[in-house]
Amino acid sequence: MSATPLASLGAGFSNEAFGSQAVFRAVLQALSHPGCTVAVEHDAQTPAVGHAASAAVLLALLDSDCTLWLSPRLADSDVGGWLRFHTGCTLVADAALARFVWVAQGDSLPALHSLNQGSDIYPDQSATCVVDVARSAATTADTHGAWQLRGPGIQDVAALQVDGLPNDFEAQWAANHAVFPCGVDVLLGTAGHIVGLPRTTRATRGVDALQEV
């Protein structure tokens, strides 16, 4: 992480309590309704590197008890200093030790199985992975390449168009879903929105996905 003078770091929420609560509600809505695009409204001065919605989410969720791993583009920017200053979180060099993982658009996503999976007794202690993507938007089931999502919080099926996930994400997500109640939760972030992919959600795409409808 590059050293950044505190004076040059952007401000957090103008009202920490209200700002955090508003963003936290957006996260709950996204995870309760997988595949829905949820606006993240805030007034924080987020860093230039990384999507603003993702930064606001972590600003709201992190505290001094949390460990955070940043992908290379984020780690080489002032993101770590900004989040440490405003939340008191601890940065870790090993993604497996992190409760929160933030991956910038274009950086490699750590293998989901390598992240903190939680345990049968404490599944809530697993990692939450925030992934910046070029696009994540609700669409129709017949859209070419769309993800078909099924599970709690979804009526029948939700279709999602995502640009920026690795080619093997479908296989990784199937394995992650299979270890429930353990496994990680994922939030897809863009400049102004997030989409939730909790571990309870099945995600497939292509011909096989359409045949399941």
Residue in the block written with tokens 């080489």: 76
pLDDT of 4 reads 58
Give the mean pLDDT of the chain: 91
Mean local confidence (pLDDT), 51-57: 97
Query: What DSSP assignment string belongs to 40-74?
Result: --------SSS-HHHHHHHHHH--TT-EEEE-HHH
Q: Please determine, for residue 141, whether its predicted confidence score (pLDDT) is greater than 90.
A: no
Q: How many residues does the chain have?
A: 213
| pTM of the shown model | 0.91
Asked if pLDDT for residue 211 goes beyond 60, the answer is: no
Query: Could you tell me which of 115, 124, 111 has the C-alpha nearest to residue 92?
Result: 115
CB distance 176 to 169 below 8 Å:
no
Per-residue confidence (pLDDT) for residue 6, from 0 to 100 = 59
Tokens of 163: 């640009």
How confident is the model over 43-55, as a mean pLDDT?
95
Mean of pLDDT values over 47-68:
97
User: How high is the pLDDT of residue 142?
Assistant: 75
Rounded to an integer, the average pLDDT of 48-63 is: 97
Give the residue-averaged pLDDT of 21-40: 96
